[in-house]
Structure 1
C-alpha cells in the first residue's frame, strides 16, 4: 500500500509540477503543468520557449494564429497574423497581415515604415497617401519616370504641321508668352507657385514641361537666327 501511495504521489507531482529532462546536470527541456515546453529554460511562460539558436536544414514552416488565416495568406478585416518560410514552389519567405490598420515597423519605439491596408508604403510617415510616401530626403543614384506623352510633339507639330503624340498642342508666339507672363508671373502650362505649394511638384510632369520649354526655346532661337541671317544678307548685298 505504501509503495502504491508513493508511486501515485510521484505521478501526481510529475503531472502537476512538470517534467525536467537533464543531461550532465544541465537542464535541456522542461514541461510544466500548464503544457508549456521550455528548451534551455526552466520556467517557460509560452507554449514553446527556446533559449538559444534554432537550426533547420529543411525550411518549410508555417506559424499562424488560427486555422483560417495564417501568415501565408492573411485575409479579411480581422487582424490576423502569420509567417511562412518555405523552400518549395514559392522559394521565398512570406509575411502577411490583414486588418484595418495595416502593418508597421518600429525601431527604438518609433514608427519607421508603415504599410496600410491599401498597399501604400510610408517611410517616416504613418499615413501614406500614395504607393510610396517618404517624409524626409531620398538619396538615389538614378530615378526612372515613365511618361505617357513625351515632349517630341513640339518639333513634330512645328515641322509637319500636326502631331500624332499631342494633336491639340499649339506653340505660342513670343508676344503671347510675354503677355501671359505679365499677367500670371509664370510660363504657360507651368504650375504656379501656389499650385506647387498646395499640391507639390510632380517630377515626371515637370520634367516633361521643362523639356517642352527647351524645345520651344530652341525653335525660337532658330527662327531668330534665320531673321538675323536674312538681315545680314541684306546689309552685305
Structure 2
C-alpha cells in the first residue's frame, strides 16, 4: 500500500513539475499551451515591489504606468528629473552625437531610424548643439532621398544633391533666397541700357520682356525663384534709369517752356509798346492835317 501511495505521489509530482514554468528557462514548449498570460477576459498585470508597472489588456493594448491603456502602447510615467520617458542615456562627443539611442535596422550596421544625443539634460536633442536632424548619409546622388509622404504620395522630397521638390503650395511668413550676383551691374556706367524703341519692338514680336522667359517656357520648365527675382530687379533698375532720364528730359522741357513763356511775355510787352507808339504816330499825323 505504501509502495502504491509513493508511486502515485511520484507520478503527481512529475506531472506537476512537467506543467510548471521555470524562471531559469524552459524547453519543449508549445505556444498554444505554454505561455505567460490569462485565458479569460482579464488583463495581464506585471508588478514590481507590489506596484503595478505594466498592464496588457484583453484587447492587446499595453500600458506602462497607466491602468487603462487606450493605444497599442500607452506610456504615462511620473515626471522625475524632467524626464517622462528615457529611451537611453550616454555620454559621448562628436558632430553626430555618438551611437544611437534608438535604431530600427535592416542589418547589423545601418539604421533606418536613429535618434542620437550628447546631452543628459531634459528635452529631445540631437547633435552637439541640440539640433534635430533627419539625416541620410548616403553619397549616392540618385538614391537616399528623405521623403515626406501623405495619402500614399511623396508630397515633399529632399534629394542627396540638395534639391527639394514640393507637391502643392508653399506658405511662409518670410522667405530668404541667397543668390549672387545681384542686378546692381545695371547701374554701372558701362552698362548698355536697351533703347526703349528696342524694348517696344521685342514686346510686339515676342509678347514678353527681353531676358524674361515666356509664359509657355515658365509653364513647361518652372521658374527659378532666385534667378527670376534678380531678373525682375534688373528690369526694375532699368525702369529706374529710364525714369531718371525721363525726369531729366521733363525738367529740361520745363525750363525750355519757362524760357518760351518769358520770351512770350517780353513779346507781349514789346507788342504793347509798339501798339502805343502806333497810336501816338496816328495821333500826330491827325494833328498835322
**TM-score interval w.r.t. the shorter chain?**
0.5 to 0.7
Report the Cα distance in structure 1 between the residues aligned to 2:161 and 2:244, rounded to whole angstroms. Answer: 49
CA gap of 1:3–1:136, structure 2 versus 1, over 3 A, is same
- Deviations, residues 188-236 of structure 1 (Å, cap 9, x unaligned): 1111222212112222222222222222122222222322333333341
Report the Cα distance in structure 2 between the residues aligned to 1:7 and 1:94, rounded to whole angstroms. Answer: 56
Q: Which residue of 2 is the match for residue 145 of structure 1?
A: 177
Aligned length: 191
| 5+ residue gaps, structure 2 | 1-9, 47-53, 65-71, 78-83, 89-100, 120-125, 261-289
Greater percentage in helix: 2
Report the Cα distance in structure 2 between the residues aligned to 1:7 and 1:199, rounded to whole angstroms. Answer: 79
SS at match of 2:183: coil
1:154 and 2:186 aligned: yes
- Deviations, residues 172-195 of structure 1 (Å, cap 9, x unaligned): 111222222232222211112222
Q: Which of residues 170, 181, 184 is equivalent to 2:206? A: 184
Q: Which of residues 14, 18, 32 is equivalent to 2:35? A: 18
Coordinate RMSD, CA, aligned: 3.8
- Deviations, residues 48-90 of structure 1 (Å, cap 9, x unaligned): x9753265654423233332122xxxxxxxxxx2333645383
1:5 and 2:14 aligned: yes
Q: Which residue of 1 is the match for residue 45 of structure 2?
A: 28
Report the Cα distance in structure 2 between the residues aligned to 1:95 and 1:227, rounded to whole angstroms. Answer: 60
Q: Which of residues 98, 113, 120 is equivalent to 1:82? A: 113
Larger radius of gyration: 2
1:103 CA displacement: 5.3
Higher relative contact order (CA 8 A, sep 6+): 1
Report the Cα distance in structure 1 between the residues aligned to 2:195 and 2:241, rounded to whole angstroms. Answer: 11
Q: Which of residues 92, 104, 127 is equivalent to 1:64? A: 104
Q: Which of residues 226, 233, 236 is equivalent to 2:255? A: 233
Q: Is the 8 A contact 2:155 2:168 kept in 1?
A: no
Report the Cα distance in structure 1 between the residues aligned to 2:133 and 2:148, rounded to whole angstroms. Answer: 16
1:136 and 2:145 aligned: no
SS at match of 2:114: strand
1:41 and 2:56 aligned: yes
Q: Is the 8 A contact 1:85 1:93 kept in 2?
A: no
CA gap of 1:181–1:117, structure 2 versus 1, over 3 A, is closer
Greater percentage in strand: 1
Scaled by the length of structure 2, what TM-score is found?
0.52
